[in-house]
Structure 1
């Protein structure tokens, strides 16, 4: 909603509009982006396309939605890194290598893990000063990692901003186990936000995982008695906006309610899938 522009809310009840406004206010979400992305306006327009039950579903899910903005990345990283530090035995661990986590096919690309890494790198001196009992080393890219410098008292921290299904993280970690000869016991995966589904997947493959916030699926397993109602409503929404089968309820049916620097495809597509049937997705990828 650009300054001086009032959104068209003719298709919304006063109550629904008030709930949307309340959610944005309570979560301290921006109304607009720096380049005239109209988050609030688009959200209102999206809601106008939905029936009452669908609106109720989206409002309830959005109350649980997590949006971590770029400026918050270092705060979230400081929290998860501290979780790691307090878990370590200083007599067994001395060197901590930090490296972005991404599949080999994405090496050289500007992925979110790389963006997070450079935020961390710009604060590396402060991080080292805070935890001066350890030697903390930044590795700009997986292919730059020199395993000959990796001693018995070293651990490798692979970092990303979000873990959804865990599949991509697993592929990224395999580069170090298969091509760099690093044991899984020496690898720790750190994420700002992670789905429990993804953590379980990675732990089942032998990796240790820490996250600042761990999220459950948005609909499956709800304890408020609304699981079936919300599932039915979301299926109708996704049919209406032509969601491809692989993205139904988010990639790998993750049912995520998350926006990071970019909105992950694990999030329910109604929030990010922008097409002719869903022109007002508020958080497009």
Structure 2
């Protein structure tokens, strides 16, 4: 039986939204984020609500990348000089298509004075790398890295094809899960992230006074109500992220972005992501 969502809990949620400056925000599909979050909490019992409120207090949401891209541009300017050819490369899948890294690439270059370098160029996909580019400083960029699987696959492909490029690769990301940061650095030690985030439950990052085991058990009673592919449980790659960028990554705990509930009814996901 669902227990009544109390006035004290509603006030706590309102304070969190005020502090995070989320009041009045809508998601990408015109859903009011506060009202959707209230609807989400109203589906839960007291113990579940306590955990989800802790998640929300530790949730990271960023839709304006300007300040972070400016910071990355400063890092690049301080690291490279007039003798360097800078080659930007957004993180992408094996199949060429526009990804979030492409917009980050453009945004960083807004704040970069290309006269400070010998050359600045951009590739839209890593399959366009060739031996003529080997001497360039390869700058790989993205907005968010959750499990690191996509980036590591891309890095291995580049390193296998151009082993001499390893020492010239640098990675700049707005936000990374720490588990991905540690994995990626095993292939490329030159990784810079504006924000590094721990896993919500396993790393006891966002579970309040609960133990990790208690929090996992409580969380799974919520997640079990959703209809989804098994690899999205606890977020893709079990990344346990609490992150929404311009789009909510599938590495985020799916109770926040998946609106498919078992039985065909809608789940009130405040940071909705349409997943095929």
**TM-score under structure 1 length normalisation:** 0.83
Q: Which 10-residue stretch deviates more, 94-103 or 162-171?
A: 94-103
The alignment status of 1:94 with 2:90, answered yes or no, reads: no
**1:37-72 deviation line (CA, Å, top 9, x unaligned):** 221111111111000111010100111110011xx2
Deviation at 1:31?
A: 2.8
The alignment status of 1:133 with 2:119, answered yes or no, reads: no
Q: Distance in 1 between matches of 2:164 and 2:90?
A: 15
Distance 1:140 1:149, change over 3 A: closer
**1:227-275 deviation line (CA, Å, top 9, x unaligned):** 2332221111111224443122111111111001111111101001111
Where structure 1 has 5 or more consecutive residues not aligned to the other structure, the ranges are 1-9
Where structure 2 has 5 or more consecutive residues not aligned to the other structure, the ranges are none
**1:178-233 deviation line (CA, Å, top 9, x unaligned):** 34565222111111000110011111123421110011111113276522332221
Aligned residue number for residue 281 of structure 1: 269
Counterpart pick for 1:117 among 98, 105, 120: 105
Q: Distance in 2 between matches of 1:33 and 1:228?
A: 32
Q: Distance in 2 between matches of 1:187 and 1:245?
A: 34
Across the aligned residues of Structure 1 and Structure 2, the Cα RMSD in angstroms comes to 2.5
Aligned residue number for residue 48 of structure 1: 42
Are the equivalent residues in 2 in contact too, given 1:147–1:181 (CA < 8 A)? no
Per the alignment, in what secondary structure is the counterpart of residue 255 of structure 2?
A: helix
Are the equivalent residues in 1 in contact too, given 2:174–2:194 (CA < 8 A)? yes
The alignment status of 1:240 with 2:225, answered yes or no, reads: yes
**1:123-166 deviation line (CA, Å, top 9, x unaligned):** 1xx4116xx53345131412444541442xx3111111001111
Q: Distance in 2 between matches of 1:190 and 1:170?
A: 14
Q: Distance in 2 between matches of 1:136 and 1:215?
A: 34
The alignment status of 1:191 with 2:183, answered yes or no, reads: no
The alignment status of 1:15 with 2:8, answered yes or no, reads: yes
Counterpart pick for 1:60 among 54, 57, 61: 54
Per the alignment, in what secondary structure is the counterpart of residue 11 of structure 2?
A: helix
Q: Distance in 2 between matches of 1:178 and 1:245?
A: 31
Q: Distance in 2 between matches of 1:145 and 1:74?
A: 28
Are the equivalent residues in 2 in contact too, given 1:139–1:145 (CA < 8 A)? no
The alignment status of 1:78 with 2:61, answered yes or no, reads: no
Distance 1:17 1:138, change over 3 A: farther
The alignment status of 1:165 with 2:147, answered yes or no, reads: yes
Deviation at 1:35?
A: 5.8
